[in-house]
Amino acid sequence: MKVLVTGAAGFIGAALVEALAQRPEVGRVVAFDQSEPAVKGPKIEPVTGNLAYAPTARSLVVESGDGRVDAIFHLASLVSGGAEQNFELGMKVNFDATRDLLEAARIAGHSPKFIFTSSIAVYRGVNLEVTDDTRPSPRLSYGAQKLMCEVMIDDYTRRGFVDGRSVRLPTVLVRPGAANTAVSGWSSAIIREPLAGRDYVCPVGPHTRMACISVSRVVDSLLHAMEIPADDLGPDRTLLLTGITASAQTMLTAVQQATGGKPLGKETDGHVTLGQVRFDPDPAAQALMDSVARSTFSARAARLGFKHSANINEIVDEYIQGRTS
């Protein structure tokens, strides 16, 4: 089995590439991104390029020259804040590149699995509790672009060009390294920075809530989405993942409970206490966060065997174990 992963150098992509390479039925993982993925292995072929350049998709899917691509995991995107700041680039990366990949799959002619990471940014509403029945209504260009891709994937699936599966992700924690341009970036920083012994000013209030899931649950969900029989999905190929509710304060409390007030030794440059967090809400950031989903629940995903995170403590513990192992 040959698998293509776009966005392979990213937070979720790197974890997915590593998981795919461990599966016996997968013979080769083409790991594509603008920079070479950090994950290495005999099954992993790193490929670099720019997916906003239209011929790139065909080179990855149609002209690979050594066997057809059986499954495409399309994770590459320009995240919410970036897509809002640069509309043209957001359309090129989030929408046009997806269409280019779908067209490449159509030209290839063998209807590969096409697993797409969508987002709960397709919804909006104050303190929204999202379920399978909640109507999408994007507030940001990023959410609109993701929703357009979902519709397009359903149509390419109906026509038999791909076997599509779109997965709407809650906020995925905990992102390592520097913050990206995602509007939810604070939710990783409020966990990551104190554990590294660094102080952090949180741009939203302590009672700000959002729907969360761990990266390991997302990877498991993407692999599960690939495996579900097409007949079990039916014509609607978009799935919502359940995300647990967590506030900024409960995230910080989970960090304090997990460590006994001590930072992770290998990251802290000699610090012996957790970094301090100060809440200083930015009006624009707060207004935006007040309009996103604070929880998601999908009965359909549960019926199909998808698993969600148990609570924020589980997510924090997973991050700590990953950083100290």
The two three-digit tokens of residue 86, written as one number: 């640069």
The two three-digit tokens of residue 108, written as one number: 């290839």
- Coil, helix or strand for 168? strand
* Distance separating alpha carbons of residues 113 and 286, to the nearest angstrom: 39
Spatial contact of 115 and 226, defined as CB atoms under 8 Å apart: yes
Which spans in the chain are helix H? 11-21, 55-61, 80-85, 87-90, 97-108, 141-158, 186-195, 215-227, 230-233, 248-259, 283-289, 299-303, 312-324
Question: Which residue's entry shows tokens 């397009």?
Answer: 152
Tell me, yes or no, if 319 is annotated catalytic: no
Spatial contact of 189 and 252, defined as CB atoms under 8 Å apart: no
The two three-digit tokens of residue 209, written as one number: 């809530």
Report the DSSP beta bridge partners of residue 240. 168
The two three-digit tokens of residue 65, written as one number: 């020259």
* Phi and psi at residue 224, to the nearest 5°: -65, -40
The two three-digit tokens of residue 66, written as one number: 């050594």
Q: Which of 123, 142, 156, 200 is catalytic?
A: 142
* Distance separating alpha carbons of residues 132 and 300, to the nearest angstrom: 7
Distance from CA of residue 129 to its chain's centroid?
A: 20
Neighbouring C-beta atoms of residue 206, cutoff 10 Å = 16
β-pair type (244-247, 209-214): antiparallel
Question: For helices 312-324 and 248-259, what crossing angle results, to 10°?
Answer: 50
Closest CA to 191 of 263, 287, 84: 263
Active site residues per annotation: 142
